[in-house]
A and B are shown apart, each in its own frame.
Chain A
Amino acid sequence: MNALTASDVSVNSDPKVSGKPEINRGKPEINSPPKIKSGPALHLDQLSLSFGDNMLFNPVSMTLTAGQLHMLTGANGAGKSSLLKCLAGLMPHQGEICWLWPENSSDQVDKVAYIPQLEAFDATLPITVEDYLLASIQPRIFFRKPPVKEQQRLEQLLSRVGLEQKRNRKIGQLSGGERQRLLFARALAQDATLWFLDEPMNGLDQEAQGQILQLILQLKAQGCTLVMVHHDIEFVTAHADQEVRICDGNIMVVTPAPVDDGLVVPLGVAQI
């Protein structure tokens, strides 16, 4: 896994197939809302994953454009979550993955979030929502009242994810939706601009799903790069900028379109 800046590599410039990394250098585009921050593009070079002789997916080269919502789809067991973990650097793999950050800053590598499927916390741990977020904000252990600046930051985060009323609840006693929102708040606390989301709405009710969707759309509007595993095709069609489908061990880019069958573009043309 490499974390490079956009200037470190050159990419196939045919926008029809490659989706050249859209690097936001702070200049707002005409007729589009200014973006507050921008996530990186992800470049995959001959990425593949195998367990022994069993190849989960074949080598693929492609670029996931910066500042967009990319959805990974496929049948159960196709390897969606494994691909996501590879992209996040959580799983050993073959080939190269580059995160192409828009700005040349070493701090960017910390701005990465990974939201797993519904995660359980130990219900008896005496750690409240407020403790959890303060520990994310504060670099060091302090057991006094946080300074005004950090308190304000905490309030902002709680308000952003709608957990103000749950601030004193133990994290293990939160409902599924609240827990996911807490994980979002933690990543927001670190100003994440690259988000890996592994079916974050799984097991949530309609209301909780709506709240998570709102957060995702806000992040997208801000220019964050989001890579998300999802199984609901309607949802993918409605919200994805790009769908990456895993089918029989092959990874394909599917251009989402408001019809049932999107345009399937075979990969192998977007290599460095």
Chain B
Amino acid sequence: MIMQQWLASGVEQGWLPEIFQYPFVTYALIAAVMVGPLLGALGTLVVVKRLAFFSEAVGHGALTGVAVGILLGEPATQPIAALFGFCLSFALILHWVKSRTQVPYDALVGVFLAFAIALGAALLLYVAKVVNVHILENVLFGSILTVTPNDLILLGLISLVSWVMIWRYGNQALMSALQPELARVQGAGGRRARVTLLDYGFVLLIALITVAAVKIIGAVLVGALLLIPATTARLISHNLRGFFIRTLLISTGSCVAGVVLPMALEIPIPSGAAIVLLASSLFLVVVLLRQLGWLQTQANG
């Protein structure tokens, strides 16, 4: 409320555009400011652990989760329980199968991804009988119009849990990603369960964050935002601290700009699409600048 009043006064005094007088813009901005850093922080681990394709698959699995939720009677704009349940089950089963087969990981994720999308597409026909399918677009690609104060509370709780997990176990996850065998041997003798728990905890985080970002970025595009800011920051960072901070800045900047710019420029596109388009554009600009040699010095420290 305080932020909304502050923004409204800014509009009255003329130093803020008129769009900030609407409460939904305020809610969307708060959500963007919470989701952005969270996606950035987790994105650094996703990139180091080479789980980009995995997070992408979990995000795409959201299509099925949404369809299941609607068919089970959840609100069409907010099928949170089914979305979370499906994404988590999907991720856990995928991770479990991975640890018990010799199938290359990318092939395995590809199979699961195709299965999830196909199942979602099959269910859509039944969903169409219950609700207008276009409502699903908001869930899949994000819409700032749908963010409510209750969503912000849920987002805040998920952010809190996620930040505690990242702070507490981030270093272990990082080291385990860099040298999995050493992590496993150190987890031997009764503590191997801790290493396994860490892996499953990471899977839980991906599922949680998919739910957290569903209103702003959309379930399908969450995976992209876990990947793109960290990949961009990696190109222009020389150490871990720089990598982390730049990822957070790019992710948060993309989220905020993706919410505000379409409104300010009156471009009718989903917020998730705008956020991912901005992040991708920045990535391409960085690649281009590096090719031209303008960022070479910085990247080499």
Do A and B pair up? The answer is: yes
Q: Contacts of A126 on B, CB cut-off 8 Å?
A: 233-234, 237-240, 242-243
Are the C-beta atoms of B188 and A109 separated by less than 8 Å? Answer: yes
Which of A6-14, A138-146, A156-164 is the contact stretch?
A138-146
**Cross-chain contact of A143 among B190, B238, B245 (Cβ < 8 A):** B245
Q: Which residue of A lies closest to B170 (CB)?
A: A141
Q: Which of A109, A114, A141 has a CB less than 8 Å from the CB of B191? A: A109
Taking the closest CB of chain B, its distance from the CB of A4, in whole angstroms, is 9
Within 8 A of A (CB), among B228-273: 233-235, 237-245
CB-contact partner of A99 in B189, B238, B242, under 8 A: B189
If the complex has contacts A89-B188, A125-B234, A126-B242, are A132 and B178 also in contact, measured as CB distance less than 8 A? yes
Chain B interface, DSSP helix/strand/loop, else mixed = helix
- Is B185 part of the binding interface, using a Cβ–Cβ cutoff of 8 Å? yes
Dominant secondary structure of chain A at its interface with chain B: mixed
In the complex, what's the smallest C-beta–C-beta distance from B50 to chain A, in angstroms? 9
B171 contacts A114, C-beta separation under 8 Å:
no
Contact of A124 among B172, B192, B234, B244 (CB under 8 A): B234
Q: Give the chain A neighbours of B233 by CB distance below 8 A.
A: 126
Interface residues of B in 186-240 (CB under 8 A from A): 186, 188-192, 233-235, 237-240
Inter-chain contact B186/A110, CB cutoff 8 Å: yes
Known: A126-B238, A131-B239. A110 touches B191 (CB 8 A): yes
Instruction: Tell me if A3 is interfacial: C-beta within 8 Å of chain B.
Output: yes
Asked if B171 contacts A127 (CB within 8 A), the reply is no
Q: With contacts A127-B178, A135-B171, A141-B171 known, is A3 near B189, CB below 8 A? A: yes
Which of B167, B181, B192 meets A140, CB within 8 Å? B167
Known: A126-B234, A135-B171, A140-B171. A114 touches B185 (CB 8 A): yes
Nearest residue (CB) in B for A85 is: B181
| B182 within 8 Å of A (CB atoms) | yes
Binding site for B on A (CB under 8 A): 1-3, 88-90, 99, 109-110, 112-114, 116, 119, 121, 124-128, 130-132, 135-136, 138-141, 143, 168, 170-171, 183, 186-187, 190, 196
